[in-house]
Amino acid sequence: MKIFSFIIVLLILISCNRGPSVERLKAITGTLLKVEDINYPSGSSLTFDQDSLYLMGDDARELLILDTAFTVKKSIVLFPGKSSRQRKSFKADIEAGDFLQSENKKELFLISSGSVSPYRDTLFKFNLRSRKFDKTSLLPLYSIITKKGVAEVNIEGAAFVKNYLFLANRSNLSQKRNYLIRLENKISLTSQQPIKVIPLALTDSTLGISGLDYYRKKDMMFITLSSEATASASADGKIGNGALAIITDISKKADSDSLSINGFLPFTAIDPVFKNIKIESVAVGGRVKGGFIIYLVADNDDGRSILYKVRLKF
């Protein structure tokens, strides 16, 4: 009887410590609807709002506004200069963005990665009505995040989730955990607020978070994951394949000590064109029958970006 009881306890412990299994994940399929290679550098943050896409590159000087057919509608200079790209050593490295509606204004938050201080420690807020940018240093916030156990700050995604802002911190070969960082004060990104650092459980340790988006009507977080063989937050490395993941009921899980995904789709299962492509960001365009329309952006490191339109079903 003692041996039998020991075996039962052991099986329970093994089950509790397993990562998310394929059987428990939502079955997701995807269809590639459109691909466009555009003359815009280093696409890294993609956001959707009212039938427009807002694209920012990590070393680009301009914010690009496109329609959903990927036709450029407008560009807005954020970093004046003669060349189309900022120098790598001084670039702002904007990797994350999302829209926030507050009172009578809507602002696009564009967030630097924090991977190299002081050049990559800035929040840029773009007011859609006035077309003006304000900027704030995020160094105090990033310092607190480091003290909470994130050895190397590398913010790659941002999403406003009801009363919170979630930031995604990417893993690398030295720091092998991905984190979702929950901030309770979503309007002013200061260090003087409750901050919770939540590990994201993934079965594939080679995948790092590269982008986030939140779909409020279904309370779902969409996450892009990519593989890059680099041992630091600022160095480049060999690119592998990536995937899309989802977390359902994310607002109800904001106090969790760990988060697991509820759906997983390798990009190569959508189309072979995604092989060895680093998807940098995701923007949810809305629902269609049985699923969603999403937009993706990839940076091919040669001064151009690639945009994708995908229909998901699940």
Report the alpha-carbon distance of residue 156 to residue 243 in Å, rounded.
15
153-194 pLDDT, tens digit per residue, is 999 999 999 989 999 999 988 888 999 999 986 667 877 788
Q: Dihedral of the CA atoms 17, 22, 24, 29 (nearest 10)?
A: 150
Q: How far is CA 77 from the centre of its chain?
A: 23
Domains plus CATH for the chain? Answer: 24-313 (2.120.10.100)
Report the alpha-carbon distance of residue 136 to residue 152 in Å, rounded.
21
206-255 pLDDT, tens digit per residue, is 999 999 999 999 999 999 999 987 755 566 667 889 999 999 999 999 99
Q: Which of 3, 44, 43 is nearest to 305 (CA)?
A: 43
4-26 pLDDT, tens digit per residue, is 444 343 333 334 444 343 336 88
Report the alpha-carbon distance of residue 40 to residue 38 in Å, rounded.
6
38-92 pLDDT, tens digit per residue, is 999 999 999 999 999 999 999 999 999 999 999 999 999 999 998 889 988 889 9
Q: What is the model's pLDDT at position 132?
A: 86
